[in-house]
Copies of this chain bind each other. A is one copy, B any other.
Amino acid sequence: MKPAIDFYFDFSSPYSYIASEWVGAVAARHGRLVNWRAILLGASFQVTGLRPPAEFPLKRDYLMRDVARSAAFAGVPLRMPEAFPIATQNAARVFWWLHAQEPQRAVDWARAALRAYFTRGVNLSEPQALKALCAEQGLDAQAAEAAWNDPQWKAALKAANEAAIAVGVFGAPYFVIDGEPFWGNDRQAQIEAWLNSGPPRGLE
């Protein structure tokens, strides 16, 4: 088995959502597994001094259009939520709580939560909405709420953020394949080419 693809995502990142819809299938076509890693981009921003692109009006306007267009070109349903961006630490802690039990359950949660937020506007930052989503996904909502308030899963998310920063993750989605970093949903074509035949000719 070839090395797995590391896939870093933030629950409030629309490009992460689009990528979450294709990364599994692309990896599978090339005999790779995917290590899903929920992070908080805000933690990276604090370290790097970068700021969320949506803070810049001109760039925000463009990005909203580009997100809609990129989703349409990818055939991924998307409706930008009215509340955006939102705090996603609770959704991410649920991810790591499930991950410790069974990684596939965490992946299923990630895909469901990203879809809920970016197609139905389910506000992942609101405890009641998040518990309802947990229940809808067959999870124990009370246990999930206990988990996102538990220092153990707060620490697990913090460790995931720190590990991501150590690798150089400054944006999302962010992929590492065979040690090579790829930033952005728009690197899908390069990722597929890399998985097919490795580095392009002329790249040292």
A72 and B168: CB pair below 8 A?
no
**Closest residue to A49 on the B side, CB-wise?**
B56
A15 to nearest B CB, angstroms?
A: 12
Question: CB-CB contacts of A112-154 with B at 8 A, as 1s and 0s?
Answer: 0000000000000000000000000000000000000000000
Chain B residues with CB below 8 A from A199, complex form: 69, 72
CB-CB < 8 A to A184: which residues of B?
186
Judge if A187 is at the interface, Cβ distance under 8 Å.
yes
Which residues A159-180 have CB closer than 8 A to chain B? 168, 170-171, 180
Contact with B along A48-79 (1 / 0, CB 8 A): 11100000111101100110111111000100
Q: A189 within 8 Å of B by Cβ?
A: yes
Please, which residues of chain B bring their CB within 8 A of the CB of A203? Answer: 68-69, 72
Sample of 19 further A-B pairs with CB below 8 A, known A66-B182, A69-B199: A48-B56, A48-B58, A48-B59, A49-B56, A56-B170, A58-B170, A59-B170, A62-B170, A66-B183, A68-B204, A69-B190, A69-B203, A71-B202, A72-B199, A72-B200, A72-B202, A73-B190, A73-B200, A186-B186
Chain B CB count within 10 A is highest, among A58, A65, A168, A204, for A58
- Contact check, B66 vs A56: say whether CB atoms are below 8 A apart: no
Which chain B positions have C-beta within 8 A of A49?
A: 56
Chain B residues with Cβ under 8 A from A77's Cβ?
202
Q: Which residues of chain B come closer than 8 Å to A50, judged between CB atoms?
A: 56, 59
